[in-house]
Amino acid sequence: MRVLHFFKTYLPETVGGIEQVIYQLCESTRPLGVDSEVLTLSADRDPAELMVGTHKVHRARLDLQVASTGFSLSALGRLKALAREADLVHYHFPWPFMDVLHFAARIDKPFVVSYHSDIVRQKYLLQLYRPLMHRFLSRAECIIAASPNYLESSEVLQGFRDKTQVIPYGLDEAAYPQPSEARLEHWRSRLGARFFLFVGVLRYYKGLHILLEAMTDTGYPLVIAGAGPMEQELRSQAAALKLSNVHFVGRVDEEDKCALLQLCSAFVFPSHLRSEAFGISLLEAAMYGKPLVSCEIGSGTSYINVHGETGLVVPPDDPMAFREAMRALWEQPRMAQQMGEKAATRYAQLFTAETMGRQVAQVYREVLGR
């Protein structure tokens, strides 16, 4: 079975949650007889094909980017040619230009859609895009949502309940590197024995400004690992609040990320908007057996983090509530340890790459069997 995945960004050029999900899908379905390839856009002037893991990545040149939507003239021909060779196309939503290309290329192969997120920020553009979006989703053989929470809270998905299937994202623990003792000692000596950790791209919906407000008058060490468009603003906020206990360590490689996840006392995830549809880094922390603090936004974050079981869930945009949750984990280490153990158990039961790959491969077989 040959499957073509299509999304606006992909590894190794960009590293994010959706890119990680696509990678895990390609790799985890391969032992089940699925030969996956990825088509994406690239800012390179002359993008070449390359291998990522065991699958091929085709790259069309990115010509223009407006409102987080990439445009590419060459993508039309590439999609048409690659879809012709595939048995099934797997689109990754949202990306309005993708819908346009699907119809312009007259794709006649069956297709499924991974519905990663509602369109939250571009509300006025959404009104223009809505008719095309509904036409595109109505033609899909199956829509895949990552959590029952998001299915229930998404107005768009409510209109397609009959064709929507919940398959949680999954991670392959064996694919994560084991940090060297030297790397672990480097971070221990720099950060101390106990600290809170956030890992992710520093974007507007991550709620890090709320986390910094929550940190005032606490003294708890906090590590923020990642880079992004909000970085300078957040550094300025931390300086204005005189938060000497907050460490911005920038974007880290995989070994450093795993070292920080292994060493941290708890993981904080203050995303306050529904643009955060799941939270891959939150799931990574669960995989490492860490207690979690997150916000209730009606998305997959509360499917990963079950309040009172794997960690604490607080109202969004509430620094005081977030501070109290951090205080509870800091002052009750035994409770925090028990929550971390339950987080690891929940990961193993629901969120492995093997489970996700098996369920998605079954969707492919059902779609092609109709």
Q: Are 214 and 326 in contact (CB under 8 A)?
A: yes
Amino acid 224: pLDDT: 98
Q: What element of type H or E holds 368? A: helix 353-369
Per-residue pLDDT, 65: 84
Structure tokens at 98: 């993708």
Secondary structure of residue 338 in the 3-state scheme: helix
- Going by their DSSP bridges, the two strands 69-71 and 50-52 should be labelled as unpaired
Q: Could you give the maximum distance between any two Cα atoms of the chain, in Å? A: 62
Q: Which domains does the chain have, with CATH numbers?
A: 2-170+352-369 (3.40.50.2000), 173-350 (3.40.50.2000)
Q: Which of 340, 360, 313, 280 is nearest to 113 (CA)?
A: 360
* Long-range CB contact pairs, 47-54, < 8 A, 24+: 50/12, 52/10, 52/11, 52/12, 52/23, 52/26, 53/23, 53/26, 53/27, 54/26, 54/27, 54/30
The predicted structure's pLDDT at residue 121: 72
Residue ranges in the chain modelled with pLDDT below 50? none
Token readout for 112 is 């499924």
Q: What is residue 15's predicted lDDT score, i.e. its pLDDT?
A: 83
Output phi, psi for 70, to 5 deg.
-85, 145
The 10s digit of each residue's pLDDT in 332-368 is: 999 999 999 999 999 999 999 999 999 999 999 999 9
Contact 307, 313 (CB under 8 A): yes
- Give the pLDDT of residue 61: 96
State whether residue 196 is helix, strand or coil. Answer: strand
Taking the C-alpha atoms of residue 310 and residue 303, their distance in angstroms, rounded to an integer, is 10
The residue to which tokens 């509602």 are assigned: 118
Predicted confidence at residue 69, as pLDDT, reads: 81
Predicted TM-score (pTM) of the model is: 0.92
